[in-house]
Amino acid sequence: MTQVYLDNAATTPMSPIVIDTITEQMKQNFGNASSTYELGRVARKVIEQARSQISQAINAQANEIIFTSGGSESNNTAIFGIARMQREVGHRIITTKVEHPSVLEPLRQLEKNGFDVVYLDVDATGHISLADLKAALTPETILVSIMAVNNEVGSINPLQEIGEIVADSNAYFHVDAVQGLGNIDLDVQKMQIDLLSTSAHKINGPKFLGFLYKNARINLPSLIYGGEQETKRRAGTENVPGIAGFGEAVNELSKINKQELQAKYSEFQEIILHELDEARISYQVNGGRGKNVSHHVLNLRINGVSTTILQANLDLAGYAVSGGSACTAGSLEPSHVLVACFGQKSARIDESIRISFGRYNTVAEIRAFALELVKIAQKTQWKNK
C-alpha cells in the first residue's frame, strides 16, 4: 500500500540535495571545527558557509546565528536567557495561549520563580488582538514571545506590526518561527525581531538541528556550558554534516517563491473542501482561510466523527495526518490551541484532524486523499446518526 504523507507540520522528508550534502560531508569531512589544523579549518569553513546562507535568508548578520539542537532548545535559550539577563529590569513576559509547548513550558517554569506571564487570548482564527498586546505592555515587560505561524491552525501573526509595538517598549521581541521559515517571508530587520527560533527538520533538513537568531546587541547568557563553540554561546562539538545540510535546505528555500507555494497549498485545500461539499459532508475548518493564514495547514472538523476514528481510518487507507501538534499527540489532554480558539466545551476539540502539506505533495495525491476522506466521512457519519 502506498503511503501518502500529509503531516508536514510535524516533520518533513529530507530533500535529496540535503541528503547528498550531508552524506558527502560525512564521507569527506570528519574534522572537529574547533581544531586549528587543516581538517579542523575545513570543518570550520563548512559551518561558516552555512551560517552565511542562513543569515542571508532572514536578513541577519552571520555572527547573529547560533546553531542549536532544534526549535525547542532555541526557544528555551531565548526565554530563559532574557529572563536571566533582564531580571533586574522587570518580571513581566507576554505571550499567547496558542504557543508551542517549548515556549509555554519554559514560561510556566518562570512563573514558579516569580515571573508574571500574560497569556493573550486569540479569536476563532487563532489571531491575537494588537490592542490587547498594547494594553498588556508595561515598563516592567522584558519579553514578548509570539509565534510566526501557528502549528495547528496556520494563523500568521502580523510580525511587523508587533515588532513596531514592542520596539517602543523596554521588552525584547522573540519569534518562534519553526512553522514560519519556508512558508512565509521573514526579515528580522524589517520586522524588528530581536530573537528568532527555527528547526531544520521542518524545512526538509535534518532532525535535531536548528538555529537561534540573536540580535548582535543582545548579550544573551548561555543555556549550555562546557566548551567555547559558537563563540562561547553554545557549548558542544558542532554537527558539521548536519549544519551543512541545514544551510543547503535554507539555500533551496531561498529559491522558492513563498507566494506561489502558498497558492499551491491553497489549491490543495480547495480540492479537499470541494469534494466534501460535493458529497454534502458536514464539516468545519478550524481557523481562517484568508490571507493571514499559512495554507500549508488545514485543520478540519468532520462533524460527529472523533479524531481517533478518523485518523485511524485514514492511516489504514495509507494517509498520514495528525490530531494536532506532534509534541502533544500522545497526550490525553485536548489541543490547547483549539481550546483557546473555541472553548473547552466545543465539539471541535474531539473531532478535528490536522492535514499539513509539503513541497513534495502532488495534486494527484490530494485528489485521492479527498476522495478517501469523503468515503470515510460518509461511512462514519452515517453510523453516528
**Would you name the residues annotated as active-site residues?**
327
> For residues 67 and 74, is the Cβ–Cβ distance under 8 A?
no
DSSP string, 243-256: HHHHHHHHHHHTTS
Taking the CA of residue 355 as centre, how many other CA atoms within 13 Å lie in the half-sphere pointing to its CB?
A: 26
Give the dihedral sign, CA 340/342/344/348.
Answer: negative
How many helices and strands, by DSSP H and E, does the chain display?
12, 12
- Write b or e for each residue in 45-72: b if 16 or more Cβ atoms lie within 10 A of its Cβ, otherwise e: ebbbbbbebbbebbebeeebbbbbbbbb
> For residues 360 and 13, is the Cβ–Cβ distance under 8 A?
yes
310: helix, strand or coil: helix
Taking the CA of residue 320 as centre, how many other CA atoms within 13 Å lie in the half-sphere pointing to its CB?
A: 17
Grid cell of 75 as nine digits:
526557544
- CB contact set of 6 (below 8 Å; sequence gap of 6+): 319, 320, 321, 355, 356, 357, 361, 365, 369
> For residues 157 and 100, is the Cβ–Cβ distance under 8 A?
no
Q: In what order do the strands lie in the sheet with 297-302?
A: 283-286, 297-302, 352-356
